[in-house]
Amino acid sequence: MDVPAFIEEHFSKIIPKEIILWKNKDDFESIKERVLTGGFTIAVAVGGDGTVNQLAATLNNTNIALGILPFGSGNGLARSIGVPMDIKAALNQIERGKVNRIDSGTINNIPFFCTSGIGFDAHIGNLFASSTTRGFSTYFKIIRRELFSYKPKTYELTIDGEKIKREAFLITFANAGQYGNDFYIAPLADMRDGILHISIVKPFSLFMAPVLAYKAFKKRTHLSKYVETFTGKDISVKISEPSPIHFDGEPTQVEEDLSVKVYDQTLNVVVP
């Protein structure tokens, strides 16, 4: 799809707009400067969760609202705030929608807006990022392959002053309920309540994986005996070795303990 041409054809001719192409993934500074100094009321991320996270971080703690045209594999934040997956309908929502404010989280001062985590999901995110093909089918194939070899790790957490130690397959810090594709790791998470949900998935036998996946798609993950849920505002996690971590699905590597925080209603978003 020629996205700029599609926008020109289907977006309002009355509302002023500017289309900025992000040609170099490693160079966002010029776009950031234009967005922040151009007098815009809405800035629209056209892409997947990584693009959305990058623009959302730019707009965080400003009066400029985030709009989303979802072109990603998971579209976690887009789905969480009610953006239609049909591009024409999403474009119409940007014209006619209203603006709400949502919370944001940080890990070691790096922002996230949907989910962030350490463990198996971050490991998969790292492999998916280096894959030559995209889409849910590729994601599923990587998960199926890695399930047989991934080893759970033991983590020490402090949640609002309470210390716990858990062996975990993964730990997710959820501002919103889902990773993307309506796969809910923390169904009770609310982006406007000023707290994070911490979902700890305990080690499980492989034959239970389909059951856990079914519960995730049915928004019942928190009811599984293999999932322990906490809530908090200030969380720390001790890291004993370099580990993959993801921010809204975008992977990176950490070599120091995690400091996780939530901030009340810092980002304006366009919603239905």
Residues 3-13 pLDDT 10s? 999 999 999 99
Share of the chain above pLDDT 90, in %: 74
If you compute the radius of gyration of the chain from its CA atoms, what whole number of angstroms results?
19
pLDDT surpasses 90 at 131: no
Give dist(CA 263, CA 245) in Å, integer: 20
pLDDT surpasses 80 at 133: no
| Residue 135 confidence class, pLDDT cut points 50, 70, 90 | low
Classify residue 163 by its DSSP letter.
E
Nearest C-alpha neighbor of 173 from the set 149, 197, 144: 197
Give dist(CA 166, CA 155) in Å, integer: 5
**Range among 33-42, 117-126, 234-243 with highest mean pLDDT value:** 33-42
Q: Per residue in 182-223, pLDDT tens? A: 999 999 999 999 999 999 999 999 889 999 999 999 999 999
Higher confidence at residue 74 or residue 57?
Answer: 57
pLDDT surpasses 90 at 170: yes
| Residue 249 confidence class, pLDDT cut points 50, 70, 90 | confident
Give dist(CA 139, CA 117) in Å, integer: 17
pTM, rounded to two decimals: 0.92
Counting Cβ atoms within 10 Å, is residue 137 exposed (0-12), middle (13-18) or buried (19+)?
A: exposed
How high does pLDDT run on average in the chain?
Answer: 92
Residue with tokens 């500017």: 18
Q: What's the confidence (pLDDT) of residue 271?
A: 95
Strand 115-119 vs strand 170-174: parallel, antiparallel, or unpaired? antiparallel
How many residues belong to the chain? 272
| Residue 177 confidence class, pLDDT cut points 50, 70, 90 | very high
Mean pLDDT within 129-152: 77
Alpha helices in 81-208, H assignment, sequence order: 87-96, 120-129, 136-146
What domains lie within the chain, and their CATH numbers? 3-103 (3.40.50.10330), 110-264 (2.60.200.40)
Give dist(CA 135, CA 120) in Å, integer: 19
Q: What's the confidence (pLDDT) of residue 134?
A: 66
